[in-house]
Every structure is written in C-alpha cells, then in structure tokens.
Structure 1
Amino acid sequence: MFWKADADSPRVLVPPPIIFLTFFLAGWGIDWLTGWSLPLSQTLRFGGTAVLIGASGLILIAALWCFLRERVNPEPWKTTRAIIERGIYAYSRNPIYLGMALLYVGVAVLLASPGALILLPPVLLVIRIQVIAREERYLEGKFGDPYRAYQAKVRRWI
C-alpha cells in the first residue's frame, strides 16, 4: 500500500482506478505489440464511446453525489460511518465500479483496443476479489444485520 489506510477501513491495497488503468494499459500494450485493432467504423467508435462514457459519467456523478450528500468518504481505505442506500445505491451496491467499467469499455472502443476488452473480465475479477470482497467484509463486520439486509435487496452490480 502506498498510502496510509485508516485502521477502521476495508484496507483496500490499491486504488480501484489504478487497477483499471493498469489492466487497460496492459491491453493497449498487447495491441501495440501485436498490431491488433478492432475493425470498427468511425461512427460506431465515436457513437459507442459517447454512449458508454456518457453513461459512465452520469453513474459516477450520481454515486459521488450520494457520498457528498451523506458526508461519507468514497475512498475504500478510509473509515465509513454509514451505509448509503439512497439514490443510485438503491439500485447497485457498487455504482462507482460499474461506472469505471463502462469508462474502461468506452475508451477501449474509442481506441479500437481488443487487448483492453480481452482484459475486462480479469480486471473485474480483481476488483471483485481485491476490492469489493474487502469492502463487503468490512461493512458486514461494522454494520451487521442492516448491511446484510441491504445486500439482500440490492444487487452488487446492476
């Protein structure tokens, strides 16, 4: 860990944006080394990118707004004092990671990067195991039954 995590936190080892960026750059590097490129028209590349990045932006803004409104830290290495169940969190327990995944796909489509798209399932698996699992254990330990009730009624992704 290259920063100081609060003792009362999920103690996520690497910030999720760094995880997504690392996998994306590895995929783009594969494209560069192999000469791979997705055969997409400019219309599909730019239109698809606009939709994906636009959706990502809306999801991320909605999620961050919930954190601001509730005065809760979004960083998974800081203490959490409440379960956010309103707004976009009434539909997804992890909208920030969903937004990051859509952004990842949008940029991969823009750059016509098959390598980045191939690495999407592994990056989501790493996020699930190294980030979400830690957060869920932490929240269940800290909030107990109220968090388990939230888990029962709201899906992890969508």
Structure 2
Amino acid sequence: MGALALGYAAPLPWPGKNDLMAHLVGRGLGVLGIALLFWAGWTLHRHRTTFLPDKAATHLVTDGPYRFRRNPIYIADILILFGLAEITQNIWFVILAAPFALLVTWLAILPEERHLEDQFGDAYRDYKARTRRWI
C-alpha cells in the first residue's frame, strides 16, 4: 500500500527497460512468488499447522519449501513485490522491499523463532542449524 501511495505522491522513473525480456523476468518473479506462497501454505496445511504468524505452531514443518529455507512465505512476499513493481512500473515496490525485509525479520521472524524453539526444543535447533533463515 505504501509503494502505491509513494508512486502517486513521489513518482520515480522506472529504471528498467520496457522490453519483453524485462517484462518476462519481472512478472516471472511475481509468479514464482505466488507459486512459492501456495506451496508453503499447502505444506503447512498438510501438516495441520497454522499459516498465521500470530498463532502457535502445532507441528514443526521441515519439508516442502521449508527444507530449503525456514521462511519461504516471506521470500514469496518479496518476489511478489518485485512482480508488482514490474506490472505497475513503480520502483517504490523494489525500494520498500528492503525495509519490509528488515521489519519482517525483526517483528515476525525473530519472535517466531523464539516460539518454535520454546515449542519444539532440540528438534527446532537442529532444523535451524541446517536450514538458512530466508536470505
């Protein structure tokens, strides 16, 4: 929402090329983000645990996209922002992706990690040791 508002209030020129390859790459990132979001959500659903970050997890999920990164949903969010940037030609989506990543790490991921460590103990610590966070 902030990127849309900034696009109107303080528009910046689109730095990319307006060609087919740029459109395919930018939109491809967005589609990849949507696919990753659905894969991560489906994986959580299969394990009957919550998708919502403010709810307690009932299972430690380490398969699906979670075998590669501990926070695939947030990776998906960033990819979707990049896709939105290309679709709208609004560079603010890209610029605001970095503060979004920092805020998500601080406000969501770190508290989630504390919760998962309390909830699952050594199993989570082992998973955490072998699987990168999200970047």
How far apart are residue 54 of structure 1 and its match? Answer: 1.7
TM-score normalised according to structure 2 size:
0.90
For 1:24-39, list aligned pairs within 5 A: 25-39=1-15
Equivalent residue, structure 2, for 1:80: 57
| Correspondence for 2:68 among 91, 102, 108 | 91
**Structure 1: gaps (5+ residues):** 1-24
Equivalent residue, structure 2, for 1:156: 133
Distance 2:90 2:25 in 1: 13
Q: Secondary structure at the match of 1:71?
A: coil
**Structure 2: gaps (5+ residues):** none
| Correspondence for 2:38 among 61, 64, 83 | 61
In the alignment, is the contact (CA less than 8 A) between 1:27 and 1:113 conserved in 2?
yes
Q: Deviations over 1:28-75 (max 9, x none)?
A: 322322332304304245312331122112211211111111111111
Give the structure, 1 or 2, with the largest relative contact order (CA under 8 Å, sep 6 or more): 1
Distance 2:46 2:4 in 1: 37
In the alignment, is the contact (CA less than 8 A) between 2:84 and 2:93 conserved in 1?
no
What RMSD in Å do the two structures reach over aligned CA positions? 1.6
Q: Secondary structure at the match of 2:62?
A: coil
Distance 1:50 1:109 in 2: 6
Which residue identity is paired with 2:68?
Y
Q: Deviations over 1:56-108 (max 9, x none)?
A: 12211211111111111111121211110111110010011111110011101
| Correspondence for 1:108 among 79, 85, 100 | 85
Moved over 3 A (4+): none
Q: Deviations over 1:108-145 (max 9, x none)?
A: 12111122211111111000000001100111111111
Corresponding residue pairs, total: 134
Q: Secondary structure at the match of 1:47?
A: helix
How far apart are residue 157 of structure 1 and its match? Answer: 1.2
Distance 2:96 2:24 in 1: 22
